Amino acid sequence: MTSREILTIQLGHYSNFIGTHWWNIQETNFSYDSDNPSEINHDVLYREGENLKGQVTYTPRLLLVDLREAVGYLKEQGTLYDTPQSEEAQQSLWDDTKVEVLKEETVNKSPFIKSLDESFESQNPTSSSLSLENNINSWVDCLLPRFHPRTLNVIKHHKHDGAMYPFGIFTYGRNLWNAEQFSDDFSERIRAYVEECDLMQGFQIILDSVDCFAGIGASCMQHLKDEYGKSIISFPCIDSKRTEHSASNMIKILNTALCWQHVEEYTSLFSPLCCGETAWPQIGDPRIFNHLTYNSELKYHSSALLATALDTLTIRYRRKEYSNVVLSDLCADLNKLGRKATATSLTLPFPITAKADLIDVLDDFEGPLWTSLTPNCDISMDKNMQSIVLRGISEERLKRPISHAMKQISKPAYRCSTVHEMMMLYLACTCHASATYLSNISSPLYIKSPYPKIFNNNITETGDVIGWPVGTDVQSVPVMAGLHSGNNLSAMYESLHSQLSRIRSIKKFHAFTDSGLEEDEFNECLNYLLDCKENYEDHYI
């Protein structure tokens, strides 16, 4: 069986937070039990390789970009492919006496990473009781996987808050891509990954949409589309940390709008992500999940939620059982009629009460089934094209056998014999005028540190909801996530357009005009937002 590979690209600091959680989740969910293999085909996102010592490596098929100070202790080459240094090999390219050493301060590893290294050396995992919330400044501080030498790309010429060249401008990113050296290196790395793949599905891109990485992303997608012509799914994301109202908010909105315009042009499907209800003009209140308590100010928390949604909804094209269901199918299902934007939803945990069966849970369900993770956009139950993934409901929990059925037998859903069938029936009944593609796998999402402890105390170890507090940590949960394309997205475009049209003249934003943004391009962007808004309006007679 050949697996259909996907290359993941992460651009920007917040995106790397999301990515880090995602890869962590995947590694936690690896199954090393040969009797009970994973339902997910990990070869889709991972690659197998061999280092110069002849050891086999299994690393994410990933390219990421960040600024230098964000990558901290990470070596550019990674540690998996180190070569043993013999003294002879240190052949004299220079005189030893003539070397001046300029050493930057060594970056300290966070306590969590240290404990990882220690348990790796002593071969017995230590259960860490570290409070991660206070120790995480950058995504590298909670990173489980080790990377291939190709993975890490560092931008050296900008600093996060550098006064000289602030990094918050879309066009700066575009110019950086056009500066030969960066794009040459980067596209060469893309090519090397693609060359290894037998039959690629396409690309997944997570990018920060409010700063310069949006510009890099836009240029990168253009390159991918020109060069490879594969499906591209992208997730422009916005950190939900609230900021003071200032001129920089306007810049973020402008960046976001430009980002979307280009993303829409070059990708097959995209879904904006943010843990706040609104992302403009300011970051709004955090999205509320009934059984979770999280701090939306912390990147570490909010990115974990987004990562969970991504991990779950991408299962559709990562399953072992249906290996011919691929990314391009997902895109084809949802991107009709110029509706390339979709809303992402997450149900964490899927609220199945302890000892109850799915049939009862669905029957007693009230309120919305899912929570939107797309800013300025709520997802209605009706009139959607949607792709939904449910994981963690095993077939045993579907319904009781007929001998013990009791009341269940009177429900129409009792005739359904699989989780898939029952969910489809439920969705068909509750979602008016919608087309749904449902994938489900029975293994739940296993949760282990460094995943944040965000579950309320009425969630049991196995992720069931009960009516009283329990003292145990959650080990696994059922999750549902989906992509929805429906008329609610027009509201998202409309709000962005009304914010953006507050800019009367682009000339005030000289950092943009200096780096090549023209008035026409800005107006085009405004019109684009309006066009998209119209694409999402349903005109039923």
Partner 1 sequence: MAAISLLNPKAEFARAAQALAVNISAAKGIQDVMRTNLGPKGTMKMLVSGAGDIKITKDGNVLLHEMQIQHPTASLIARASTAQDDVTGDGTTSTVLVIGELLKQADICISEGLHPRMLTEGFELARIKTLEVLDSLKILIEPTKENLINIARTSLRTKVHPTVADKLTEICVDAVLTIRQKNQEIDLHMIELMEMQHRTAADTNLIRGIVTDHGSRHPDMPKRVENAYILTCNVSLEYEKSEVNSGFFYKTAEEREKLVAAEREFIDNRVKKIIELKKKLCDGTDKSFVVINQKGIDPPSLDMLARENILALRRAKRRNMERLALACGGTAMNSFDDLKEEHLGWAGLVYEHILGETKYTFIEECKKPNSVTILLKGPNKYTLEQLKDAVRDGLRAIKNAIDDGAIIPGAGAFEVAASQALHLYKEKVKGKQRLGVQAYAEALLVIPKTLAVNSGFDAQDTIVKLLEERSTLGEAVGLDISTGEALKPTDAGIYDNYNVKKQIINSCTIIASNLLLVDEIMRAGLSSLKG
* 94 vs 468 by CB, closer to partner 1: 94
Sole binder of partner 1 in the list 297, 329, 363, 521 (CB under 8 A): 329
The owner of tokens 């009516």 is 467
Stretch that binds partner 1, among 64-72, 110-118, 119-127, 299-307 (CB under 8 A): 64-72
Q: What is the DSSP letter of 44?
A: G
Stretch that binds partner 1, among 243-251, 391-399, 452-460, 489-497 (CB under 8 A): 243-251
Distance CA 458, CA 19 (A): 28
> Is position 538 an interface residue for partner 1 (rule: CB under 8 A)?
no
* 154 vs 361 by CB, closer to partner 1: 154
Within 76-105, which residues bind partner 1 (CB under 8 A)?
76-77, 81, 83, 85-86, 89-95, 98-105
> Is position 336 an interface residue for partner 1 (rule: CB under 8 A)?
yes
Distance CA 207, CA 8 (A): 11
DSSP characters over 394-421: -GGGS---GGG-GGGGGSGGGG--SHHH
> Is position 178 an interface residue for partner 1 (rule: CB under 8 A)?
no
> Is position 335 an interface residue for partner 1 (rule: CB under 8 A)?
yes
> By the 8 A CB rule, do 221 and 234 touch?
yes
Strand-pair partners of 49 = 57
Q: How far is the CB of 264 from partner 1 (least distance, A)?
A: 15
Q: How far is the CB of 372 from partner 1 (least distance, A)?
A: 23
Q: In degrees, to the nearest 5, what angle opens at C-alpha 354 toward C-alphas 353 and 360? A: 50
Q: How far is the CB of 401 from partner 1 (least distance, A)?
A: 31
The owner of tokens 């590893």 is 109
Within 137-156, which residues bind partner 1 (CB under 8 A)?
156
Distance CA 432, CA 90 (A): 71
> Is position 433 an interface residue for partner 1 (rule: CB under 8 A)?
no
Q: What is the DSSP letter of 422?
A: H
Angle of helix 212-228 relative to helix 180-196, nearest 10 degrees, comes to 50
Among candidates 271, 256, 181, which has minimal Cα distance to 215?
Answer: 256
Per-residue contact track with partner 1, 372 to 391, x per CB under 8 A? -------------x------
**Rg, the chain, Cα only:** 24
Sole binder of partner 1 in the list 437, 493, 522, 536 (CB under 8 A): 437
Q: What is the DSSP letter of 106?
A: P
The owner of tokens 């999940």 is 289
Within 498-517, which residues bind partner 1 (CB under 8 A)?
511
> Is position 1 an interface residue for partner 1 (rule: CB under 8 A)?
no
Per-residue contact track with partner 1, 463 to 492, x per CB under 8 A? ------------------------------
> Is position 231 an interface residue for partner 1 (rule: CB under 8 A)?
yes
